[in-house]
Copies of this chain bind each other. A is one copy, B any other.
Amino acid sequence: MSDKKPTINDVAREAGVSKRTVSRVINGSANVGEKTQKLIQSVIERLDYSPDKQARGLASSRSYLLGLIYDNPDALYIDQVQRGVLEVCSKQGYELVVHPCQYSSDKLVEDCQGFIRRSKIDGVIVLPPVSESKQLAAALRENNQCYVRMASVDLDDHMNIVVSDERAAMAEMARYLVSMGHRDIAFITGPLSYYSSLERLAGFRSTLQQLGLALPESQVFEGQNSYQSGIDAAKRILSKTTRPTAIFANNDEMAAGVLKVAHNMGINVPEQLSVAGFDDNLLASRIIPSLTTIQRPVGAMAALAAQKIIRAIEKSDPVSSESDFLVKPHLIIRESTAPCTKS
């Protein structure tokens, strides 16, 4: 093919101008004559020139690298995020560097900072639950690093966050279950140290109250968002003398655990018990019966986050409008829920 990658010098020589002028064209500076502009543009095309990111970065102290920080067991979620981010960032000349980490580690902040520093990452997108860390956010801000958090609660400047309105989604879930006639509903939460868990619970409970119903504490069970914890909670719930007619679980993994326990106990879903989850992960549509759940527009959220971060990095429009930080999840009704048949 070619001998070597062409440099800015090759372009300059070929076009009969100086590096500086070529540089101006590359970076879209206004102060270039129409003709020279066109000329250089054509030479660039002909030589198939593209600026060297490393050299560029060394000079301007940027890397054209975006980081993705997460500690999330849901691989499907991560995958959707990665694709969403890449869709936006690769077009803009950025690459995506992944960085799984440990949310509960006391070296979290240090670890993430190291990651950013070592590779001069231009900006990071932080996924839940890491995105809920106050310490990390504070450190990022303090060190003047660009970041966008993806979260379920509005806990930062709208410039630095993209949130899915899970309160609203849970309101929808509550209305749906009630409309199916369910009055006696058990709720398996995620870890109560997560904002997302509290938010979902609050959204559900307040809607129930609006409908003149209640979600007593005795019907709330804390889970850990894991399959096993779903099983544990389900056992406790279903072994009570009066069973609820419906169970909501904070994620699909736990809902799958509920289904398993119900199956083992010979309880038919959805005839005798309705079950709903949250996430719409791979499981949800494959499991039998398929799961009624909440789907978040994960890819869209990620793409939005990528846009915000690039905007921030390039400071072209530091003020992002308020309108583009909130996305709406929605209810997906499948086979695991049905009208309440209890007298």
Contact = CB atoms under 8 A, between A and B. Distances in A.
Contacts of A283: 282-283, 286-287
Contact of A96 (B58, B83, B97): B97
A133 interface: no
30 contacts: A5-B117, A52-B58, A53-B118, A53-B119, A54-B57, A58-B58, A64-B119, A75-B79, A75-B80, A78-B79, A82-B100, A86-B99, A86-B100, A95-B97, A95-B118, A95-B119, A96-B98, A97-B97, A227-B285, A227-B286, A253-B286, A259-B288, A260-B286, A260-B288, A263-B288, A281-B282, A282-B283, A283-B283, A283-B286, A283-B287
Where chain A touches its partner, the secondary structure class is helix
Interface in A254-270: 256, 259-260, 263
A120 B52 CA distance: 9
Contacts of A97: 65, 95-98
A76 interface: yes
Contacts of A285: 227
Contacts of A98: 82, 86, 96-98
A120 B286 contact: no
Contacts of A32: none
Nearest to A120: B54
A55 interface: yes
Nearest to A77: B75
A18 to B, nearest CB: 21
Nearest to A119: B95
A307 B276 CA distance: 44
A50 interface: yes
A63 interface: yes
Contacts of A53: 118-120
B54 A58 contact: yes
Contacts of A99: 86
Contacts of A63: 54
A51 to B, nearest CB: 10
Given A1-B143, A5-B117, A53-B120, 10 more contacts: A54-B57, A54-B63, A95-B119, A96-B97, A96-B98, A253-B286, A259-B288, A260-B286, A286-B287, A287-B288
A93 B259 CA distance: 44
Nearest to A97: B95
A50 B286 contact: no
A207 B54 CA distance: 53
Interface in A115-129: 117-120
